[in-house]
Structure 1
Amino acid sequence: MTDTLDRTELTARLSEQFDALADLVSGLDENRWRTPSPLPGWTVFDVLSHVIGTESLLLGDEPPARDPQSPDIDVETLPHVRNEIGVLNEIWVQRLRPRPGAELLDLYREVTGRRRAALGAMDDAAWTTPSPSPIGEVPYARFMRVRLFDCWMHELDIADALGEQVDEGGTRGELAFAEFARSLPRVVAKRGKAPAGSLITLELTGPLARTLHIEIGDRARYTEAPAGEPTVRVELDSGLLVRLGGGRVDAESALDRITFRGDSGLGHQVVRNLAFTI
């Protein structure tokens, strides 16, 4: 599992991710733009609006003014808005929602074009400078890997909504998964309540196939050389794992796609408590 934070590599993959999202929605008619996504309350249109909002904020842009013909919604009252980041995301989504899809795509291309230029103008010092992010204050490089992961996940959201297949592997997928996987030991221990002394092995198939051994001790951590047999081995597709971790798929509906070997009770407990992303 790569932990690359190289500026040239990561900015190139983020640029590719911007293109992948644009390609996925190019040519949609207005009905398809408004297809419900796996994210509560959001359509395909709203998912791309969210990406525009985040990248615009990184450029220092303010949300557009509310269309006077649109309802004045207190976004804090919406059931899918749970925190301050969610409030800010929803403001952008609500403000952009009245626009037609083609106009939204034009705005997306304009904003991501400016973001590419801004990233290209950064030097190594700026790349390592601490920056506020959804995961706390981290070097700007790490924040950009979080951005790659977020945009990659939203590519999957849009593809799933539209019934389209996209490449979930490759270098972009590897970098996005590296960011996702950093949280898994903590999630397995705290949310999944895996007991101390247990070893949980995730045997992943699919585009990001790999074996992950998570050892629960004083702290949960990955190990490449487990001391014994896993307490439970959980076998599932890498795409399913990511969607479970992202809260996009309900675990109960996916149990027939998962195999448990060993302590299946613990395995079920872990799988039912994987959702952790904002």
Structure 2
Amino acid sequence: MTFDRDELTTLLGQQWDAIAALVDGLPENRWRTPSPLPGWTVFDVVAHVVGTESWLLGEQPPAHDPMRPKTDVRTLPHVRNEVAVLNEIWIDRLRPLPGARLLELFGEVTDRRRAALAKLSDEEWSVPTQSPIGQVPYARFMRVRLFDCWMHELDVADALGVSVDEGGRRGTVAFEEFLVSLPRAIGKLGKAPDGSRIELELTGPQTRTLRVQVDGRAGYVDSFDGDPTVRIGLNSSLLVRLGGGRTTADAHSDEIEIAGDEELGRRLVRNLAFTL
């Protein structure tokens, strides 16, 4: 897997700009609109991005305001690991700010991140780095960051009830990162049996046909030797939100077409949430 550092840097910048544009001029009460993520508002989603990009610059969360009750973030039901603990600490420390000030911080930290990325050498882009998907080259980590920020753009848009462009190069690169983990979700979470051939026909902004075969483990193939065990048709936008745990297949049953082994198909679409 190869990565174009100039393209990734450009796409990340465009992604940050897209998030900022969604919340620019937003009234304060709209900043506090619940998002599809458990326990997070629109403000919290943007604060999370601020926190992560600040952390990547080597910065620590702001100090706790002693005038505020201290939240034990480890007790929150959606906190499941140490990464989530750090996420919640950043959000908790930023939460008292007005939305307009958070947007200023967002602009400041993303500008500094652009500058930092531009200064990295080719060697630094290749260095093994710990990421949410394990140790990978720094360039791959930045593609994961693009995907994460793209997902959070969708979270904010969905919360505010607006549509955004999920196509284009930025959406395609982010979606391709999403697709890397899809076979594992089909095999491990969906428990597709050995020998299964799963064909996904995607419509919408990321139209394509995906073929996953389970042969000891699930993986993409160019073609099947026989007919698919199950064919699943759905919009790529819905697939992303199912994979991100933002909604459930049962809430969109009329938008999903299943042919062949219907029991397997229903089990697969109900168990796609592999990233939160």
When normalised by structure 2's length, the TM-score is: 0.98
Deviations 1:81-112 (A, max 9, x none): 11111000000000000000000000000000
Q: Which residue of 2 aligns with 1:198?
A: 196
**AA matched with 1:253:** A
Task: Report which stretch shifted further, 216-225 or 55-64.
Answer: 216-225
Give the alignment partner of residue 172 of structure 1, picking from 170, 185, 207.
170
SS in 2 for 1:137: strand
Give 5+ residue unaligned stretches, structure 1.
Answer: none
Distance change >3 Å, CA 23–CA 211, structure 1 → 2: same
Amino acid at match of 2:92: Q
2:3 maps to which residue? 5
**Which residue does the alignment assign to 1:124?**
122
Deviation at 1:79, TM superposition (A): 0.6
How far apart are residue 70 of structure 1 and its match?
2.1
Read off the aligned partner of 2:70 and give its amino acid letter: D
> Residues of 1 paired with 2:169 and 2:234: CA distance?
21
Residue in 2 aligned with 1:156? 154
AA aligned to 1:88 is L
Q: Per-residue displacement from partner, 1:214-265 (whole Å, max 9, x unpaired)?
A: 0100221101122121100000000000000000012211111100011111
The equivalent residue for 1:108 is 106
Instruction: After TM superposition, list the pairs within 5 Å mapping 1:24-63 onto structure 2.
Output: 24-63=22-61
Q: Identity of aligned pairs, percent?
A: 65
Separation (CA, whole Å) in 1 of partners of 2:214 and 2:3: 27
For the pair 1:252 / 2:250, whether they are aligned, the reply is yes
Q: Find the partner of 2:75 among 71, 74, 77.
A: 77
Cα distance in 1 for residues equivalent to 2:35 and 2:65: 24
Deviations 1:188-236 (A, max 9, x none): 0111010111100110000001000001002211011221211000000
Alignment-derived partner of residue 142 in structure 1: 140
On the 8 A contact 1:4/1:175 being kept in 2, the answer is no
CA distance in 2, matches of 1:17, 1:28: 18
Aligned partners of 1:115 and 1:131: how far apart in 2? 17
Partner of 1:219: 217
C-alpha distance in structure 2 between counterparts of 1:204 and 1:71, whole Å: 47
1:269 and 2:267 correspond: yes
The equivalent position to 2:15 in structure 1, one of 17, 20, 25, is: 17
Amino acid at match of 2:40: W
Task: Give aligned pairs, total.
Answer: 276
**Aligned-pair CA distance for 1:69:** 2.8
1:67, 1:98 within 8 Å by CA — same for their partners in 2? no
Residues 133-190 of structure 1 show CA distances to partners (whole Å, capped at 9, x for unaligned) of: 1111100011000000000000000000000110011111111111110111111011
